[in-house]
Amino acid sequence: MITLKINGFEVQVERGATILQAAEKVGIKIPMFCYDERFKPHGSCRICVVEVEGARSLMTACCIPAADGMVVQTESEVVVEARKEILDLILANHPLDCLTCEQAGRCTLQDLCYQYDIEETSYEGARKSYEKDVSNEFYTADQTKCILCGKCVYMCSQVQNTDALCFVDRGFETHIGTPFEQGIAESTCVSCGNCVSVCPVGALMPKRREKYRYWEVEKVQTTCAYCGVGCQMELLVKDNRIVEVLPVKGHCNEGLLCVKGRFSFDFVNHRDRLKKPLIRKNGELEEATWDEAYDLIVSKINEIKESDGPDAISAFSSARGLTEDNYLMTKMMRAVVGTNNVDHCARL
């Protein structure tokens, strides 16, 4: 254990813990754009700088290990000045489109400018301007709004392991792109949307089906129903309709989702969605009750079993069912019907 002092508070942490982890222990908040505990420390944005007594330069709390006897100030004059300068520099190269920007309300840049009273940039001069990449089915990439925190690149390369994104060019021209600037559709991107989820600003955005503001939605945490992984997610609901899905850091998914969980929720409110069983009568599908449907299934199974034996029957279950449901299904087929003819869509 090592002991250090942050803003006058003494705190003990394990060797190897960062200044940030130590600060969290005593409830001190440090602003961050680029940190994510799932990535290797990279220290890109520099907004988390703090003052360490005796150090030549400022230290990034998110990636510098705490040391015994360290004396840290997280909101001293030098620190606040540096943070304001960094925000000023970001704004000098960022369109202030908050009025129409879909990220508004969920945007770290907006929040930090509010926190440090930065209304506008003090610089005039060149600004970046890139064409928005809309080639992906599910999300857009607007490099003009990107603050180059690097999170999307590290998410894709270190966590998602797809390596679709990379840094392109150098200096002021640096931007996020795909290899050989072919565009996202031509890249290896699997549309998992995990980069979109970690983008702190409105550079990577889901393609919206309808208009909503983040402060208008109700959040419902649930388990993804698509497959047996059981990812945790948050449904953003407006007027009783799901408008977006965000990942939640659950046990099995650590804040990740796949393309289905993240982007495929349209079916919930789709007009073609089946809500009641249908039975074909005289060549036409007609709505029925569940009791009618079950009765029909049982009678058909018995009929076939009688005439052709149990192996003339097979069951095919869905990956969207729970593990328990799938277990029950096989049990029923083997023990009740008497056949091993069971299969599952995830095998395909």
Residues 215-274 that bind another protein (CB under 8 A): none
Q: Of the two residues 44 and 178, which places its CB atom closer to ligand FES in the complex?
A: 44
Encoded one letter per residue, x for contact with ligand SF4 by CB under 6 A and - for no contact, window 297-336 reads ----------------------------------------
Compute the distance between CA of residue 209 and CA of residue 65 in angstroms, rounded to an integer. 44
Q: Of the two residues 45 and 257, which places its CB atom closer to ligand FES in the complex?
A: 45
Q: What are phi and psi of 115, to 5 degrees?
A: -60, -40
> Could you say which of ligand SF4, another protein, ligand FES, none residue 32 binds, taking C-beta under 5 to 8 angstroms by partner kind?
ligand FES
One of 173, 210, 291, 306 touching another protein (CB under 8 A): 173
Please choose, from the candidates 149, 150, 148, 147, the residue with its C-alpha nearest in 3D space to the C-alpha of residue 121. 147
Give the C-alpha distances (Å, rounded to integers) separating 260 from 141, 192, 263, 267, 343.
Answer: 19, 8, 6, 11, 22
Contacts with ligand FES, residue ranges (CB under 6 A)? 32-35, 43-48, 60, 62
> Could you say which of ligand SF4, another protein, ligand FES, none residue 192 binds, taking C-beta under 5 to 8 angstroms by partner kind?
ligand SF4
> Could you say which of ligand SF4, ligand FES, another protein, none residue 170 binds, taking C-beta under 5 to 8 angstroms by partner kind?
another protein
Encoded one letter per residue, x for contact with another protein by CB under 8 A and - for no contact, window 90-109 reads x-xx----------------
> Could you say which of another protein, ligand FES, ligand SF4, none residue 4 binds, taking C-beta under 5 to 8 angstroms by partner kind?
none
Q: Which residues contact 277 (CB under 8 A, 6 or more apart)?
A: 287, 288, 289, 290, 292, 293
* H-assigned helices in 102-155: 108-115, 151-154
Site for another protein contains 78 (CB under 8 A): yes
108 residue type, one letter:
T
Cβ atoms 88, 55 nearer than 8 A: no
Site for ligand SF4 contains 42 (CB under 6 A): no
Which helix H or strand E contains 197, and what residues bound it?
A: helix 194-198
- The two three-digit tokens of residue 293, written as one number: 């449907």
150 residue type, one letter:
G
One of 46, 305, 320, 334 touching another protein (CB under 8 A): 46
Stretch that binds ligand SF4, among 14-22, 71-79, 89-97, 322-330 (CB under 6 A): 89-97
> Could you say which of ligand FES, another protein, ligand SF4, none residue 69 binds, taking C-beta under 5 to 8 angstroms by partner kind?
none
Encoded one letter per residue, x for contact with ligand SF4 by CB under 6 A and - for no contact, window 161-180 reads -x-xx----------x----
Counting other chains too, the contacts that 211-214 makes at CB distance below 8 Å and 24 or more residues apart are 212/236, 212/238, 212/243, 212/244, 213/104, 213/105, 214/103, 214/104, 214/105, 214/106
Compute the distance between CA of residue 20 and CA of residue 328 in angstroms, rounded to an integer. 48
> Could you say which of ligand SF4, ligand FES, another protein, none residue 58 binds, taking C-beta under 5 to 8 angstroms by partner kind?
another protein
Compute the distance between CA of residue 235 and CA of residue 247 in angstroms, rounded to an integer. 9
Cβ atoms 25, 11 nearer than 8 A: yes
Q: Of the two residues 46 and 241, which places its CB atom closer to ligand FES in the complex?
A: 46
Please choose, from the candidates 160, 144, 158, 142, the residue with its C-alpha nearest in 3D space to the C-alpha of residue 247. 160
Site for ligand SF4 contains 148 (CB under 6 A): yes
**3-state class (DSSP) for residue 194:** helix
Residues in contact with ligand SF4 by CB under 6 A are: 94, 96-98, 101, 103-104, 107, 109-110, 145-152, 155-156, 160, 162, 164-165, 176, 189-195, 198-204, 224, 226-227, 229-231, 253, 257-258, 260-261
**Residues of this chain that bind another protein (CB under 8 A):** 41-47, 49, 57-58, 60, 63-65, 78, 81-82, 85-86, 89-90, 92-93, 122-126, 147-148, 150, 166-167, 169-174
